[in-house]
Amino acid sequence: MPEQPEAPETREPEARGESGGVPELVEAFFSRASIVHTVSCFLKGTLEYHSDPMTHLVITLCREPLCICLTDRGLAPVRSDPSIVMPYAQMTQPQLACLLRVAAVWRMSAAYGTTTQMGGGVCVYDQPAGRARVFVDAVLLFYSVTRLVRSCDSTPLMSAKTLSNVMLQRIVSSVNLPREVIARAERMLLEAPAGAPCPI
């Protein structure tokens, strides 16, 4: 399992802007245009830590608010789970540009904290300062994981669509979400272009 950080050392902001960067993070990493790529990258990194990485990822992102936490490996958007990381090398140019803008705001306002991870890694993270918590859109999460599963090859024992249905049942049994979330995700799948890569 990834190493857990030690107690954080924080720096209080001197002059904070209206946004800490999370809305921009959502647009760059978790919008309809970007979320399939983002989730695919998360899954590649969590396969070794979880027996059911897709279910774990969706449940975690439904329950936990987003944060901006930058480690030596990449973006870790969930403070409670350091295994969910998007490596810098797999980010698109707009995603990298987003993080550079966030880092520039942090340098000017000192609106960040730091933790030293066991083994020498460092995590730099955004200080919320009372902002409302922001979550990934559940519809987009269901859309992305279902699209990725259905892009994988079927097996003699189970089709990709059946596998995705089993996965969705596991998720909805753990997270209380309206049925409309699944319906909207299915409508998005019908509109989606072909070609999403299988991440597993």
Whose CA is closest to 67, among 139, 113, 128?
128
57-74 pLDDT per residue, tens: 999 999 999 988 898 889
pTM attached to this predicted model: 0.78
22-56 pLDDT per residue, tens: 889 999 999 999 999 999 999 988 877 788 888 89
Whose CA is closest to 147, among 135, 163, 136, 158?
163
5-17 pLDDT per residue, tens: 444 333 333 333 3
User: How many Cβ atoms are within 10 Å of 144's Cβ, its own excluded?
Assistant: 31
Residue 174, Cβ density class (10 Å: 0-12 exposed, 13-18 middle, ≥19 buried): middle
136-185 pLDDT per residue, tens: 999 999 999 888 887 776 555 556 677 677 778 888 888 888 889 989 99
